[in-house]
Structure 1
Amino acid sequence: MTAAFALSLLSLAVWCGLLCGRAGFWRVRKPAPAPAPAAWPEVVAIVPARNEADVIGRCVAGVLGQQYPGKLSLVVVDDHSHDGTAQIAASAAAGTPRSGALTVVPARDLPAGWSGKVWAQSEGLAAAGHVAPGAAYVWLTDADIWHGPGVLAGLVARAVQERRDLVSLMVRLRCASPWERLIVPAFVFFFAKLYPFERVRDPRSKVAAAAGGCMLASRAALSRIGGFAAIRGELIDDCSLAAKIKPGGPISLDLADDSVSLRPYDDWRSLWDMIARSAYTQLRYSPLLLAGTVVAMTLTYLAPPLLALAGGARQWPAWLAWAAMTLVYLPMLREYRQPRWLAPLLPLTALFYLCATLDSARRYWLRRGGQWKGRSQAPVRS
């Protein structure tokens, strides 16, 4: 047996393991709507916003335009914006049925040891204690997300019926530009492989994850973990929050239909920066985990097409591995309404992600990690 053939067999074995051992992560399954509760609890929404003038108006209109039968308030935390974010938010609220439900609060200066977004969320939660002291749920969303009118009612109904402390939706990312079509569906695919949604929902599993664009958390659960101070320094705040909440109560994560990201990624650089901002954080700033990721990505995604094209029919295990990854990627492409011919190109997309991950480590070593809105938020390398 040649080394190349042995590598082909190993790649095929990896894909057999993924197909059998990752809870069907590639399947696109959306739960049926939950029945309406007997009484609709009060909800307060919190939106951290830092220089979001181009999107905050649509976000506020979406939140305050909810067809929610219960009481709903919105706290927008203006995190030292200098582009008129607060004024645009107020103007947008004035044109909604809940024009008086908006409160804009300025964030205090960022304390040492806190990441910017988590501090803004903490400031919003503190303000919510005055604005909506009776709210049973806190709806956490981002300034660049628009929610359709029925989203909140669906979240609350599920949380009440299934008694979940955290219900999250991975919003639909924009998939319009050529680069978005190549990269975005793979982003969701890789996320689901890392955090299989079925295991997130399973209270017996330790897998915990959430998507920060849309999270409904019970106020009791937030109080139980000590509020946002429990995740004060985290850059991947959504999954960190889920990991804190799940040991005390069940959580869920699903794909959204009517919650949409407004953030455009029209060129490769913006997508690269999105990945590089937190990829090395996901690896806990570990050179060993980085090396393992390089080996794993190479074996899983890069080796099959390289060996198949170089070896022809003799490398049949590599062809089977490539076919497997192509087939399991198709459901996510269908979810994002993208053509099937993109599926065999998944190895190229994986190479893009791998290179951006390496760049994420380089930025950390150069003390430029976690760049967002003018802040470098990754911990300083010792």
Structure 2
Amino acid sequence: MTVLLWICVASLLAWLWLLLCQGFFWRTDVRLPPAKEPARWPSVAVVVPARDEAEMLPASLTSLLAQDYPGRAEIFLVDDNSTDGTGELARELHRTTGGLPLTVSTPGEPPEGWTGKLWAVQHGMALARTGGPGYLLLTDADIAHEPDSLRRLVASAEGGGYDLVSVMARLRARSAWERLIVPAFVYFFAKLYPFRRVGRKGSRTAAAAGGCVLLRTEAARRAGVPEAIRHAVIDDVALAGAVKRTGGHIWLGLAERVESVRPYPRLGDLWRMVARSAYAQLRHNPLLLVGTVFGLALVYLAPPAGLFAGWAAGDGATAAVAGAAWLLMTLTYLPMLRYYRQSPWFAPLLPVIALLYLAMTVDSAVRHYRGRGAAWKGRTYPKPVPDAAPEHR
């Protein structure tokens, strides 16, 4: 057997394992579980950290103001030192549209050791707790909710006894680059954190989607969040890990009625979105980076390379094994493309997309070692906090 054939056999075995043993990550049927509405609706405080989000608020904030929730609910929008009039626009939207009560506040610059978003969340949660809410809805300023979103989240949490319920908002996929890259982003995330394992008691897998997290207030207190994760760049995964480590029952799935309104029309926009946190996902560990590069090459790049090389050399065995691995890869991607209403013809392009993500990950590491680290809206977090706990996996 040639070296290339051995590599393709390893890739095929890897895909067989991923298909059957990685929590069925490729399936997209993990959706918000239906639940009977509670006899008494708990109060909810909605915390929205917002930094220079004036462009997003007309769609996102108005959708929160219009929530049809039977219990008491109020919104705390934390204007994180915006320069585009985010706070003023939020107040104006509330004056003109009405809806749920809205409080707009500004926390000031984050202290050393805090990311800007988590400092804003800390400030919003402190304001919210004065009203003694049963739940906190942590949602980003670029996320739009259907009118029954909060109602369904709370019903599912109450019915399932969950301390944290999170849905991964359907990201925008309209431009050519969004259609190519966005579905794969969710596909790769689900492979790292299979949703079925996240929701299973006793499983160590913990993750959430930061755009929409319903968190029981008592679970937040028990886990000491957000202070316990104040350093985290990938704050949603860190939040879920903190809740699960302290005995919380969590759930994560794909959204049906929650969408991101933030556009990423160009490759550079998507590149920055991925690169700002990719190396943090690897815990800034160069050995993990090397392993990730080799792993992505074996799993995603070896099958097409083996197929074309085997075909050109007349090596039928190599071409067949490589083709089988590529076929399995393609089939696992089809459900996510259907969820995003994209053409199935994107599925065979997954090796190309994976190559782009590999380059983004390497670039993320280069940025880190050049001192630019995780940069977002004028703030840079070049190094992890020394006393930070590792992200939960």
Normalising by structure 2, we get a TM-score of 0.94
Q: Is the 8 A contact 1:138 1:219 kept in 2?
A: yes
Residue of structure 1 equivalent to 2:301: 302
Residue of structure 1 equivalent to 2:72: 71
Residue of structure 1 equivalent to 2:379: 375
Q: Is the 8 A contact 1:235 1:378 kept in 2?
A: no
Instruction: Find the aligned partners of 2:381 and 2:33 in 1 and give their Cα distance.
Output: 39
Letter in 2 for 1:48: P
1:282-293 aligned within 5 A: 282-293=281-292
Q: Measured at CA, do residues 160 and 380 of structure 1 come closer, stay the same or move farther in structure 2, by a change above 3 Å?
A: closer
Q: Is the 8 A contact 1:105 1:127 kept in 2?
A: no
Instruction: Find the aligned partners of 2:269 and 2:188 in 1 and give their Cα distance.
Output: 18
1:59, distance to aligned residue in structure 2 (A): 1.6
Q: Measured at CA, do residues 381 and 224 of structure 1 come closer, stay the same or move farther in structure 2, by a change above 3 Å?
A: closer
Letter in 2 for 1:370: A
2:349 counterpart of 1:345: yes
1:117-266 aligned within 5 A: 117-130=117-130, 133-247=131-245, 248-266=247-265
How many percent identity over aligned positions?
A: 49
Letter in 2 for 1:71: R
Deviations 1:292-323 (A, max 9, x none): 00010000000100110111233211100000
2:88 counterpart of 1:90: no
Instruction: Find the aligned partners of 1:280 and 1:91 in 2 and give their Cα distance.
Output: 39
Larger deviation: 102-111 or 306-315? 306-315
2:318 counterpart of 1:319: no
Residue of structure 1 equivalent to 2:389: none
Instruction: Find the aligned partners of 1:366 and 1:170 in 2 and give their Cα distance.
Output: 32
Residue of structure 2 equivalent to 1:58: 59
SS in 1 for 2:255: strand
Q: Is the 8 A contact 1:77 1:123 kept in 2?
A: yes
Letter in 1 for 2:282: L
Residue of structure 2 equivalent to 1:355: 359
1:95, distance to aligned residue in structure 2 (A): 3.3
Deviations 1:18-50 (A, max 9, x none): 012101100011254211011111000000011
1:380, distance to aligned residue in structure 2 (A): 6.5
1:64, distance to aligned residue in structure 2 (A): 1.3
SS in 1 for 2:97: coil
Deviations 1:241-282 (A, max 9, x none): 000001312100010011110110101000010110000000
Instruction: Find the aligned partners of 2:264 and 2:250 in 1 and give their Cα distance.
Output: 30
Residue of structure 2 equivalent to 1:328: 332
Letter in 2 for 1:356: M
Q: Is the 8 A contact 2:49 2:80 kept in 1?
A: yes
Instruction: Find the aligned partners of 1:221 and 1:378 in 2 and give their Cα distance.
Output: 31
Alignment: residue pair count: 379
Normalising by structure 1, we get a TM-score of 0.97
2:33 counterpart of 1:13: no
Instruction: Find the aligned partners of 1:195 and 1:226 in 2 and give their Cα distance.
Output: 23
Larger deviation: 215-224 or 225-234? 225-234
Instruction: Find the aligned partners of 2:238 and 2:33 in 1 and give their Cα distance.
Output: 27
1:127, distance to aligned residue in structure 2 (A): 1.3
Q: Measured at CA, do residues 325 and 176 of structure 1 come closer, stay the same or move farther in structure 2, by a change above 3 Å?
A: same
SS in 2 for 1:278: helix
Letter in 2 for 1:314: A
SS in 2 for 1:95: helix
Letter in 2 for 1:136: G
SS in 2 for 1:277: helix
Deviations 1:204-251 (A, max 9, x none): 101000000000000001111123101000000001000000131210
Deviations 1:74-105 (A, max 9, x none): 00001111111001111112233425x00001
Q: Is the 8 A contact 1:58 1:92 kept in 2?
A: no
Instruction: Find the aligned partners of 1:42 and 1:378 in 2 and give their Cα distance.
Output: 39
SS in 1 for 2:226: helix
